[in-house]
Structure 1
Amino acid sequence: MSKSTDGQDLTLVGPGTVMGEMMRQYWIPAALSSELSVDGDPMRLMLLGEQLIAFRDSSGRVGVLDHQCPHRCASLFLGRNEHDGIRCVYHGWKFDVDGRCLEMPNVPPPQDFKEKVRAKSYKVRESAGLIWVYMGARAEAPPMPMLEALFVPEQDLTVTILQREANWLQGLEGDIDTSHFGFLHAGHINPDDFEEGHPARHTVSNRAPEYKVTETDWGTMYGAFRPETDGQMHWRMAHFCLPFWTQTPNADFADHVVAKAWVPMDDTHTMLISIYGGRAKGATYSSSKLKSGGGIPGADGLDYLPNTTDWFGRWRPVQNIGNDWQIDREAQRSNKIYTGIRNIVMQDQAVTESMGPIVDHTKEHLAPSDVMISRTRRRLLNAARAFANSGTVPSGVDDAEVFFNARAGSYYADAKLDWLEAYQDKLKTAIRWRAPSQQAAE
Structure 2
Amino acid sequence: MLTSEENDLLCRVENDAPMGQLMRRHWVPVCMSEEVAEPDGAPVRLRILGREYVAFRDSDGRLGVLDGHCPHRGALLALGRNEDCGLRCLYHGWKIDVEGTVQEMASEPPESALKTKVKHEAFPVEESGGFVWAYLGPRDAMPAFEPPPFAADKSAQVSILKIKIPCNWAQIQEGQIDSAHSSSLHYSDMKPARVGGAEADDKSWYRPSTDKSPKLQIERTPYGFHYAAIRRPIKNAATHNYIRVTEYLAPFVSLIPPNNIYNVASVNVPVDDTTTMFYFIAWGNPETCTPTDEWRRFCHAVPGVDLNPDWSPIRTLDNNFLQDRDAMRGDDSFTGIPGIPNQDIAMWVGMGPIVDRSKDILGASDMAIVEFRRLMVDAAKVMAETGEAFGVGATLQGVQSYQEVIPKEVDWRTKVARESQAAE
Taking structure 2 as the reference length, the TM-score comes to 0.88
8 Å contact kept, 1:185–1:344: yes
Which of 370, 373, 387 is residue 369 of structure 2 equivalent to? Answer: 373
| Match of residue 109 from structure 2 | 108
How far apart, CA to CA, are the structure 1 residues paired with 2:139 and 2:339? 42
| Match of residue 161 from structure 1 | 162
| Match of residue 417 from structure 2 | 424
Alignment of 1:252-263 (within 5 A): 257-263=263-269
How far apart, CA to CA, are the structure 2 residues paired with 1:188 and 1:245? 23
Which of 241, 250, 256 is residue 233 of structure 1 equivalent to? Answer: 241
| Match of residue 52 from structure 2 | 51
How far apart, CA to CA, are the structure 2 residues paired with 1:5 and 1:116? 43
Alignment of 1:32-431 (within 5 A): 32-36=32-36, 37-139=38-140, 141-153=142-154, 156-186=157-187, 191=192, 194-199=193-198, 200-203=206-209, 205-227=210-232, 228-251=236-259, 257-279=263-285, 281-282=289-290, 301-305=300-304, 313-395=309-391, 397-399=392-394, 401=395, 403-429=396-422
How far apart, CA to CA, are the structure 2 residues paired with 1:97 and 1:343? 38
Change (3 A) 1:30 1:184: same
Q: Which moved more, 1:358-367 or 1:413-422?
A: 413-422
Change (3 A) 1:300 1:50: closer
8 Å contact kept, 2:299–2:339: yes
Report the alpha carbon displacement of residue 189 of structure 1 after superposing the two structures with TM.
8.3
Change (3 A) 1:55 1:187: closer
How far apart, CA to CA, are the structure 2 residues paired with 1:59 and 1:91? 24
Report the alpha carbon displacement of residue 34 of structure 1 after superposing the two structures with TM.
2.0
SS in 2 for 1:86: strand
8 Å contact kept, 1:235–1:410: yes
Deviations 1:205-248 (A, max 9, x none): 21111110121111011101124435222211001111121111
How far apart, CA to CA, are the structure 1 residues paired with 2:406 and 2:380? 36
Deviations 1:279-335 (A, max 9, x none): 36359xx99xxxxxxxxxx96643333799xxx953233333332111011112334
SS in 1 for 2:311: coil
| Matched residue type, 2:393 | D
SS in 1 for 2:338: coil
Deviations 1:253-285 (A, max 9, x none): xx85443211111112111223332236359xx
8 Å contact kept, 2:66–2:100: yes
Change (3 A) 1:115 1:237: same
8 Å contact kept, 1:303–1:317: no
How far apart, CA to CA, are the structure 1 residues paired with 2:125 and 2:190? 45
8 Å contact kept, 1:303–1:318: no
How far apart, CA to CA, are the structure 2 residues paired with 1:175 and 1:307? 21
Aligned residues: 408
For structure 1, the residue ranges without an aligned partner over 5 or more in a row are: 288-297, 435-442
| Matched residue type, 1:209 | P
8 Å contact kept, 1:305–1:318: no
How far apart, CA to CA, are the structure 1 residues paired with 2:72 and 2:21? 27
Q: Which moved more, 1:161-170 or 1:19-28?
A: 161-170
How far apart, CA to CA, are the structure 2 residues paired with 1:246 and 1:77? 30
Change (3 A) 1:188 1:2: closer
Question: Going by fraction, where is helix more abundant, 1 or 2?
Answer: 1
For structure 2, the residue ranges without an aligned partner over 5 or more in a row are: 199-205
Change (3 A) 1:300 1:23: closer
Report the alpha carbon displacement of residue 146 of structure 1 after superposing the two structures with TM.
4.2
Q: Which moved more, 1:58-67 or 1:100-109?
A: 100-109
Change (3 A) 1:190 1:141: closer
Deviations 1:40-93 (A, max 9, x none): 222211111111222211111122222221111122223222211112222222
SS in 2 for 1:387: helix
How far apart, CA to CA, are the structure 1 residues paired with 2:109 and 2:339? 60
8 Å contact kept, 2:300–2:342: no
Aligned residues: CA RMSD: 2.8
